[in-house]
Structure 1
């Protein structure tokens, strides 16, 4: 007879000890830190003071407006509305939209907009306006050329209309060109890409047809007159490409003389200018006419394509630089991922990405997760006052959020090359230090606050993640100790400056926003590397069953290679493979809970899983998975489990007359419930 199987006691004790170690680590923090942080965190951040006149002056100057003293006496919300009302929709797109939103959101949002948001938005507006100038210029030129084809005078306001509205104005204006009129009506109902194609080529084709129809319909004209009219039409059409104003006298010029007029108007070095010069270099009248009828339009199309390709290359380079900077900072992985997706999506996707407000799109929202072994699954959290690390309270949910653990990673208030962590829940509040303790507090606009709320990222001190050095205290880093948050070093000068685990405590994983609470199942998965490897990654949300076992709650979650269970009574354990299927067939946790993970047998052939109340499931490739429990299991254990002469069970325990029997590979074990006698024998 051999001793007890490691795992029934020894392995169970090891598993329990591991859970105790994790629990013990958590137990070092204040009792409230495992769920809701201490009471000070529930207080709201201090009220945001109104912006000063100096801050308002700086905001006005940033936008390039003349200082209007009447603005400076306005309350912040009214001041922000003035900005919305005054800014130009083309040049200040993001500022204008954000100002209106801040006005709607109330006083705190308005103050935050004046104090910080306006600067980053204005920089992006200026970059976007400069970046899209070529695109706007091309759009205006396309509209001007189209309008010139029907001799329609246009204003700057009309040229800045959307394509649909501009086409509507053209449709209202045009007369005498029925096919043009019909084409404009069709284009009005099309999408923007089709509208642009119509203005670029469809309009000319329609006008040419109208012109030819008019020539053909005039029976009074001689063939010479018709040829003259066709030549004049070709010159007039060609003139619209370079926006050359023509007169009757000019339209009667010989083709080569008219081309010289076009060359004078064309942009030097452009494809149109090159094609015009090439036509003039020829002495063939057919080449001159070909240029006027088709060549100038083809050259203009090449100019447009070259400009588009140049802009696309510049946009791509800018986004590559933005992505590289975000990667180097380590604090904006969601921005990096979105930029990578845009780069993979082509020129239009890149342009659309560069034009968006990445903060408004939520791409700067992140959470900070602890990387210290044993503490993973805790997140920086505060809704006001002292900041803590917390796991959140799952309650009866498998997908509850930690709460107050999402931060907008903005440019550093005191250094644009660093970062500030703005609360997504408390308007105008940032993580800052006060007497070295990390708190969530309202930005009062002072230089001291800006330095205390600016964190400069470095590669994680432990070799993983990022570390955040506070701007106002060089050498001190964001650190968690006993769930509290400090600006610390490893000098030993204060209790939170202890050298032990400093590198790990001051290294952070930047993860997605709105993290889900860390339950005991997640805690083990995050902190037990061997367990993580054994079960794989989660493939479903965690499930909470309030009446799991005898009215006591059970949680479970499916992973790639196992289902993992938790209860207060049994801890966290995984059941996998054939054992899991057998376990499910007998009622799963409603029957009994596992007290160890599914584990390989010492003979290296099969696996076993122990459950509450002295029950097990044993499996081998030749015998399958079977239940062993009660007196029969105890007898088999004393024989040496699967290493005994009996080998693995072939069946679950079943009745045999008045007896209970388990059949094994090389024999049976019988139990007599009436006498309590148990025995084994070969068969």
Structure 2
């Protein structure tokens, strides 16, 4: 019978597998643990806490309860452990007879070595026996259903293993035999279709040709068909070869005969020896031959071809299988009495019905393929380690019927290779690699990397678990090296199988997990986990290493990130170029709307490789201008919206350029600029783009020769000065600073931070060559240059001036400039010829009264300075003195006197200044002075002018030869003016200054007071002293030029 096989003893084809399973699976548990039922879903065995390595039960292996090898969680991780179910009484084991019948399904004679096994181990032995039988033809296994049923039973519980032996194996084997029979039937059908097609054309074929694929067989037909006799066939064959697999099959089953009929019809018409009647008869016979082929799949004999149209249709109806489209179409024609309907059936109807039958058969077959693929996919998903098979199943389900047929036939056995991606702190693209026997972690590299691929097979010692065979070195497996240590860690190598049971156990791994990650544990130690140095775990708390099972050819890091994030795909668009990589496999890939960058991110205590997104636009342009992420160093981050939603930002943590972070940030108003270092930290701590500084308007830049740096922002500026650190400007003061050109303007760079002053809400900030003051009344006022220097001399706002009320404004002449201040009516005036000087108080008032710089005084040439009894400002054209000793604030010029001798006549008295005393008394030191009637030529009234420079003079009396002096230098008002031996000291120095009506005041250089007729008196003998200048008439004198000298 089809599907039967010769019976064989265990020593035959499956002996080694059975024995291996016998020893490898008979691992003892305590009685209590052995009696626990299997948990629902993926669970792990629950070990007996009292059991220890090396301890054993005295029972023989055959009497001991075997280890329940189920997929699940580590028993000591309560958050992963499965729910416990109440224990149930175990079902009776199968009998030796039942085991013998089960083994016989595979043609095995069950001897004592099989019959001694408990049901669980016997089930495993049957799996390995079936697998050994399939190994010679892995793409067309004949025991797939038996293996699947065995794994399902082993993954469930012991009762299911018993059921498998009693009934499940026979049922599964029956399915396998049906599959094999259908496979062979289809193969024979395919060969028959090919043979008929070749026969129709008279082309001889042998088994080798019939074994060709459909495509290659059509090529064979096209090459061997006659160029003239089979012209239509050859043309249709070439067209089919350019089409789909479905089109090629349709050509082989239907098209070749239709095209052959066209060729025959053409040849009949070309036959000049036949009459038209003979040609018509020949064409009719050919039409019936073609219909017979379509309807019955036969080459019609003469008896059938010579029938009338009606009889031919009736014969087809009689012969065609019931419940077929051909039979239905023939019956419809038979029921008709219209000859046209008979002819239509012969010419077209039989073919059309034949095509519908083919479509129905293919549809039924495809539905079965879809069902089978769904089951295969479900098992692959549950396995947790066959995503490539899941993807292949999805592709087949989404593909054509031909794709599904191929997947069921061979594809499901071709996608068992995967890669294992480690979860590490080094990046998402680290793979378990066979490095000539060492299991190591290596980073993704472009190109084909078979050393990172693993063929995932049913476990060598337990088919419910898995073994990982190296693709580059067949028969080498991930092998638990127990002597490598590790409490929970199971260190591994990639070692060749020695066929021993111990190796098979150590190379078998069970898998648990969910989502995209799995934990891989030794079959004999479910509380341990596969470990390779570099993978992330926590052995102290049994936090296991986790792995991703992926395609055998790992995706590029760019494709991984892109495929994992739908929002990212939507925002980036499609890829437009292949990745651009450097020697370290870092670089970028371009998409329609941006780039993905692969970067080496420095996390401080470790370095990790990641993929990050930057979108087309100013941010990307700036990043490229700066050399890209890998030139910046640090930890790169995705481009993201700014905090206020009005911009975009890329942040780099700990960049190579310095500082905590580097930012590339863009807004529509400012464009894209970078901020980093101490400037970036200051900006970020203040709130970044939503803080007082706002968005940057420049990149960080330098100025000067001392390493100074700055960034400007919409709301301020931040400066880094190596000698002092960070300085910032913001608000109204910044606006003034910015309006003047920032550090390139007259203020220079900030040297201090904004500071409050006064009680009016005032603030100020110092700059290298200026200051900016702000009050609610004045707004922001800048002072710089000579004004600022002068302001600084007077202690800024803490001095007598207060704060500036205005910026430097032009004076009336358009040459000078001035700034007014808040206190004392003060102002600083500047003129190119005089520089900047301070004028304030009463002196400022007097000056303004006279017309300020428009007056004869012009611009100040000095600041206000102290006098012995007051204050003074010197101007271009004179002075203003302020007295604190009873005088007025007086403006005047200092006169240059004509050299020679003079007499001084008092304006009020009309009398002249002379030395008091008679005879020798008028020659004595300290002799006083007085007024007396003017006597022309009187020596006592004549004073010789001795020029002391700078318009200072000594007055030497013609009579005594002594000089006019302030007695004892006493500064008090009314102190007498006397004569004294000439020494030309300050008490003997006098200035002639202007007074009203072209008169003069005689002003002491020592006291700055003026000669005064005390009283005021006008009679002879009234004495003269000095007094604070009151501009009084008794203080005014008329100069009488007595003589001149050259």
Q: Distance in 2 between matches of 1:425 and 1:379?
A: 15
Contact 1:375 1:527 in 2 (8 A): no
Is 1:451 matched up with 2:466?
A: no
Of 522, 540, 548, which aligns to 1:470?
Answer: 522
Counterpart of 1:49 in structure 2 is: none
Q: Distance in 2 between matches of 1:172 and 1:299?
A: 30
3-state SS, counterpart of residue 253 of structure 1: coil
Of 142, 159, 169, which aligns to 2:210?
Answer: 159
> Of Structure 1 and Structure 2, which has the larger fraction of its residues in helix?
1
Rate the CA distance shift 1:220–1:477 in 2: closer, same or farther, 3 A.
Answer: closer
Rate the CA distance shift 1:154–1:141 in 2: closer, same or farther, 3 A.
Answer: same
Q: Distance in 2 between matches of 1:338 and 1:142?
A: 29
Rate the CA distance shift 1:610–1:525 in 2: closer, same or farther, 3 A.
Answer: farther
Contact 2:510 2:523 in 1 (8 A): yes
Counterpart of 1:231 in structure 2 is: 284
Counterpart of 2:638 in structure 1 is: 559
Counterpart of 2:394 in structure 1 is: 340
Is 1:654 matched up with 2:753?
A: no
Rate the CA distance shift 1:349–1:276 in 2: closer, same or farther, 3 A.
Answer: same
Q: Scaled by the length of structure 1, what TM-score is found?
A: 0.59
Counterpart of 2:353 in structure 1 is: 299
Is 1:630 matched up with 2:630?
A: no
Contact 2:469 2:475 in 1 (8 A): yes
Counterpart of 2:197 in structure 1 is: 146
3-state SS, counterpart of residue 230 of structure 2: helix
Counterpart of 1:270 in structure 2 is: 324
Counterpart of 1:125 in structure 2 is: 140
3-state SS, counterpart of residue 456 of structure 1: strand
Rate the CA distance shift 1:655–1:152 in 2: closer, same or farther, 3 A.
Answer: closer
Counterpart of 2:235 in structure 1 is: 186
Rate the CA distance shift 1:376–1:174 in 2: closer, same or farther, 3 A.
Answer: closer
3-state SS, counterpart of residue 499 of structure 2: coil
Residue 272 of structure 1 and its aligned partner are, at CA, apart by 2.1
Superposition map of 1:60-209 within 5 A: 122-126=137-141, 136=187, 139-150=190-201, 154-162=205-213, 166=217, 178=228, 180-187=229-236, 189-192=238-241, 193=243, 198-199=251-252, 200-201=254-255, 203-205=257-259, 207-208=261-262
Q: Distance in 1 between matches of 2:604 and 2:548?
A: 16
Contact 2:421 2:429 in 1 (8 A): no
Residue 582 of structure 1 and its aligned partner are, at CA, apart by 9.5
Residue 465 of structure 1 and its aligned partner are, at CA, apart by 2.2
3-state SS, counterpart of residue 298 of structure 2: coil
CA offsets per residue over residues 574-619 of structure 1, 9 Å max, x none? 5242399999868x99x99977996770794447999999967575
Residue 230 of structure 1 and its aligned partner are, at CA, apart by 3.6
Contact 2:746 2:770 in 1 (8 A): no
3-state SS, counterpart of residue 498 of structure 2: coil
Rate the CA distance shift 1:576–1:313 in 2: closer, same or farther, 3 A.
Answer: farther
CA offsets per residue over residues 230-289 of structure 1, 9 Å max, x none? 432222222223332433233223445444554565445332233334433445544333
Rate the CA distance shift 1:257–1:452 in 2: closer, same or farther, 3 A.
Answer: farther
Rate the CA distance shift 1:520–1:191 in 2: closer, same or farther, 3 A.
Answer: closer
Q: Count residues in correspondence.
A: 532
Rate the CA distance shift 1:520–1:304 in 2: closer, same or farther, 3 A.
Answer: closer
Counterpart of 1:240 in structure 2 is: 293
Is 1:423 matched up with 2:423?
A: no
Contact 1:594 1:611 in 2 (8 A): no
Residue 567 of structure 1 and its aligned partner are, at CA, apart by 6.1
Q: Distance in 2 between matches of 1:599 and 1:399?
A: 42
Rate the CA distance shift 1:429–1:642 in 2: closer, same or farther, 3 A.
Answer: farther
Rate the CA distance shift 1:170–1:453 in 2: closer, same or farther, 3 A.
Answer: closer
* Structure with greater Cα Rg: 2
3-state SS, counterpart of residue 124 of structure 1: coil
Rate the CA distance shift 1:278–1:56 in 2: closer, same or farther, 3 A.
Answer: same
Contact 1:594 1:610 in 2 (8 A): no
CA offsets per residue over residues 108-144 of structure 1, 9 Å max, x none? xxxxxxxx99956834324798787677566545434
Is 1:437 matched up with 2:486?
A: no
Q: Distance in 2 between matches of 1:399 and 1:230?
A: 64
> Of Structure 1 and Structure 2, which has the larger fraction of its residues in strand?
2
Q: Distance in 1 between matches of 2:349 and 2:661?
A: 77
Counterpart of 2:982 in structure 1 is: none
CA offsets per residue over residues 461-500 of structure 1, 9 Å max, x none? xx872222322224433357x74899xxxxxxxxx864x2
Counterpart of 1:311 in structure 2 is: 365
Rate the CA distance shift 1:418–1:131 in 2: closer, same or farther, 3 A.
Answer: farther
Counterpart of 2:893 in structure 1 is: none
Superposition map of 1:396-545 within 5 A: 406-435=453-482, 436-460=490-514, 465-478=517-530, 483=534, 498=540, 500=541, 502-503=542-543, 505-511=544-550, 521-522=600-601, 524=603, 537=613
Rate the CA distance shift 1:661–1:386 in 2: closer, same or farther, 3 A.
Answer: same
Residue 385 of structure 1 and its aligned partner are, at CA, apart by 5.9
- Structure 2 runs not aligned, ≥5 long: 1-9, 19-130, 143-178, 483-489, 558-584, 587-597, 641-649, 755-761, 775-779, 781-1046
Rate the CA distance shift 1:136–1:400 in 2: closer, same or farther, 3 A.
Answer: closer
Counterpart of 2:334 in structure 1 is: 280
Residue 536 of structure 1 and its aligned partner are, at CA, apart by 6.0
Counterpart of 2:419 in structure 1 is: 366
Rate the CA distance shift 1:167–1:601 in 2: closer, same or farther, 3 A.
Answer: closer
Q: Distance in 1 between matches of 2:429 and 2:521?
A: 22
- Structure 1 runs not aligned, ≥5 long: 1-53, 63-115, 487-495
Q: Distance in 2 between matches of 1:520 and 1:564?
A: 11
Is 1:383 matched up with 2:435?
A: yes
3-state SS, counterpart of residue 125 of structure 1: coil
Q: Distance in 2 between matches of 1:572 and 1:119?
A: 62
Rate the CA distance shift 1:564–1:314 in 2: closer, same or farther, 3 A.
Answer: farther
Q: Distance in 2 between matches of 1:402 and 1:580?
A: 46
Contact 2:320 2:327 in 1 (8 A): yes
CA offsets per residue over residues 71-119 of structure 1, 9 Å max, x none? xxxxxxxxxxxxxxxxxxxxxxxxxxxxxxxxxxxxxxxxxxxxx9995
Q: Distance in 1 between matches of 2:423 and 2:330?
A: 67
Q: Distance in 1 between matches of 2:217 and 2:448?
A: 49
Contact 1:410 1:420 in 2 (8 A): yes
Counterpart of 2:376 in structure 1 is: 322
CA offsets per residue over residues 189-215 of structure 1, 9 Å max, x none? 445236655552365255246436626
CA offsets per residue over residues 319-340 of structure 1, 9 Å max, x none? 3333333322222334434543
Rate the CA distance shift 1:267–1:339 in 2: closer, same or farther, 3 A.
Answer: same
Q: Distance in 2 between matches of 1:321 and 1:263?
A: 40
